[in-house]
Chain A
Amino acid sequence: MKIAAISNDRCLTVQLKGELDHHSAKGLMSRLEQEIEIALPLKMILDFKDVTFMDSSGIAVVIRMRQRMRELGGCLVLQKVNAQPRKVFEAAGISRLVEIE
């Protein structure tokens, strides 16, 4: 899984690209945490436009990032979520915890 991060005015946008499964989740989780350490954002946007597949490993990543952002007094937003990952988020009721645009 590839990521591209842009930070602007304490808003950190991270574009995710590829398949988000258990194999890729561990590396992704630590790279996202690194980006948060550097940017110390008040808002984090995870852009799912180029996520071609996601299973429940992605739920754990999103919940961890939500927790990190809350510790900073900020929020997490998910953007451009395709049908397949959206269905996985819905099955887990994630929209009750995180804003999905």
Chain B
Amino acid sequence: MKRAENYVTLEFLSRSSNESFARIAASGFAAQLDPTLDELGDIKTAVSEAVTNAIVHAYPEKLGKVVMKMKILDNNELEISVRDWGCGIENIEQAREPLFTTGGGERSGMGFTIMESFMDRLYIKSVPGKGTMVTMRKRIAMRLNGKR
């Protein structure tokens, strides 16, 4: 059985108070795939990482636009993308490495590592000076009679 086609697009300002808003929106949208609590936790964590990066790194000295898109794909898969029009990433490979951070002692450099391990797939597109788009996918297994 396939899930119905569906998507949501959210646009918000890069204020840190919107981090929790983005997590709540993502878990609300994901609910239609009937995820387990663990899966929901993974999705919220990954979204928090992606949105925080747009808020902290993309627009370090100002406020800017962040767009989060959520989509249900065939095969019970959830796709979430977070896009900003901020400073961009010079070296994506280096940015993906565990512990790499340009954020000093307030960041841990584990954001991309967590997105990668908590979701099934992570794609990063970025152009310095133009912005960044992070796309994540996670398949939610269908449950039969409330069980897997």
Question: Which residues of B pack against A, CB within 8 Å?
Answer: 16-17, 19-20, 23, 37-38, 41-42, 44-45, 48-49, 52, 55-56, 98, 105-108, 110-111, 113-114, 117-118
Are B56 and A22 touching (Cβ within 8 A)?
A: yes
A26 and B49 alpha carbons, distance in the complex (Å): 16
Which residues 76-92 of A have a CB within 8 angstroms of B?
Answer: 83-84, 87-88, 91-92
Across chains A and B, the number of contacting residue pairs, with CB separation under 8 Å, is 69
Q: Identify the closest chain B residue to A21 (Cβ).
A: B19
Q: Which residues of A contact B16 (CB under 8 A)?
A: 21-23
Best-surrounded residue of A23, A55, A57, A63 (most CB of chain B within 10 A): A55
A30 and B103 alpha carbons, distance in the complex (Å): 17
Q: Which residues of B contact A22 (CB under 8 A)?
A: 16, 19, 52, 55-56
A25 and B45 alpha carbons, distance in the complex (Å): 15
Q: Identify the closest chain B residue to A63 (Cβ).
A: B108
**Closest A-B pairs by Cβ, 4 of them:** A23-B16, A59-B108, A84-B41, A55-B48
A72 interfacial by beta-carbon distance below 8 Å: no
- A23-B16, A84-B41, A84-B45 known; A53 vs B23 contact (CB < 8 Å): yes
